[in-house]
Amino acid sequence: MIPLRNIGNTDIQITPIAMGCWPISGVTSVDVTEQASLATLKAAFESGINFFDTAYCYGYEGESERLIAQALGDRRDRIV
């Protein structure tokens, strides 16, 4: 299991490694399908990663956030 670290002086704990979510949005030179993106998000979480880096500009109209919600929405209380 990946060790967790607190964010500053809070009780929120995250993995020291985040999954960068820009490539999953499909707007890079990487040819990635929605199915592969969802599988990657689930695999990252199942591997112990709970810290996902995203931004509204990662895809059109919040595409990376939509994919994260679709893949991990039922676990939202355990991800940052």
**Active-site residue 56, yes or no?**
no
Interatomic CA distance for residues 65 and 35, integer angstroms: 15
How many CA atoms lie less than 13 Å away from 50 in the CB half-sphere? Answer: 18
Using DSSP's 3-state secondary structure scheme, residue 33 falls into coil
Set 37, 54, 58, 71: catalytic member = 58
| Residues marked as catalytic | 58
